Structure 1
């Protein structure tokens, strides 16, 4: 069975390992760790947003203590417009909070 998620690139460890946070309806529900080389080249930066389709749920540990995923990744596509929208929404929230604090 295939599961679909929105994933955000949380961080890249040692330039080789990507840590993705999987979201379902805006809530982080899981984490996936994979080689940076498996990411689309234009999405290899913190905060990049992807659509993911996952199959099997196999997990194994690597030497760094991170969990390396088996080949459960079926498809991954970079979503630059969704990334931009999310960044703009976060900036708007920050701006609104800053305005309220400065009025006190």
Structure 2
């Protein structure tokens, strides 16, 4: 049985299941579910980035990528901050 490794991002929790969006080359290509108690302890939150090993549609292994999670959170915060900045007002137009 061939396995493949994808990046996964926890989208949400539905009861005891984590819904994980699977990415390939930066695009969401599929989703899967993982039992909450099968997640690494520090990955049990929305937007956690995971390395997911799949065989067919079966999840074989999940590891938490702390560095990528932190980087994505920082990038999102920077985008939000840029969008939240007000354009300079032109006080000379009075």
Residue 37 of structure 1: CA displacement? 1.2
TM-score (norm 1): 0.77
TM-score (norm 2): 0.84
Q: Which runs of 5+ in 2 are unaligned?
A: 89-94
Residue 18 of structure 1: CA displacement? 0.9
Structure 1 runs (4+) greater than 4 angstroms displaced: none
Q: Partner of 1:89 in structure 2?
A: 75
Residue 13 of structure 1: CA displacement? 1.1
After superposition, where does 1:61-100 map in structure 2 within 5 Å?
A: 72-99=58-85
Q: Partner of 2:12 in structure 1?
A: 11
Q: Give distance in 2, aligned partners of 1:53 and 1:88.
A: 26
Of structures 1 and 2, the larger Rg is shown by: 2
Deviation per CA, 1:13-70, whole angstroms, max 9, x where unpaired?
12x111000011111110101211111111111111100111122xxxxxxxxxxxxx
Q: Give distance in 2, aligned partners of 1:12 and 1:49.
A: 14
Deviation per CA, 1:48-102, whole angstroms, max 9, x where unpaired?
1100111122xxxxxxxxxxxxxx1122110111101000001111111222xx1
